[in-house]
Amino acid sequence: MQDVDKFIDDLIRERGTASPDQEVMAIVKADMKSILLDQIDKEAVMRLNDDQIGELADLTDSPSFSRTDFLEFLQRAGVNMDDVVEATKQQFREFYLNAPKEEQ
C-alpha cells in the first residue's frame, strides 16, 4: 500500500492543504487512505456479475473470510484490479482537487 500512501501525499501537496501539525496530518492521511481503499473495494465489487456477487456474499458469511480471500476471489472472478485501482484513484484525485477548500 506504499503506492496509496504516496498517492495521498502527492494529492495533499498538490492541493496545498498540508498542516504543520503532524498529528492532524496523520489522521487526515489515515482517513483519506481508508476512504480510497473502501472506494476501490466498492468499484471492484461493482464489476462482478450477479452470480459472482452471490458467491462473494456466501463467502463473506464465514468468520475466517479475510482481505486476502477477498482479493483472491476478485482475481478468480476476472476483475482487473490494476484497472480498478487506477480508475478509482483518478476519480478520487479529481474529486479531492476540485472540492472547495475550507475557510481558514
Q: Are 5 and 29 in contact (CB under 8 A)?
A: yes
pLDDT digits (tens, 9 = 90+) for 60-83: 999 999 999 999 999 999 999 999
Q: Are 16 and 25 in contact (CB under 8 A)?
A: no
Which residue ranges make up each domain of the chain?
2-98
Q: Is the full-model pTM beyond 0.95?
A: no
Using a pLDDT cut of 70, give the percent of the chain over it: 95
Q: Are 85 and 40 in contact (CB under 8 A)?
A: yes
Predicted confidence at residue 81, as pLDDT, reads 95
Predicted confidence at residue 103, as pLDDT, reads 52
Dihedrals phi, psi of 100, to nearest 5 degrees: -60, 140
Looking at beta carbons, which pairs linking 45-50 to residues 24 or more positions away fall under 8 Å? Answer: 47/79, 47/84, 48/74, 48/77, 48/79
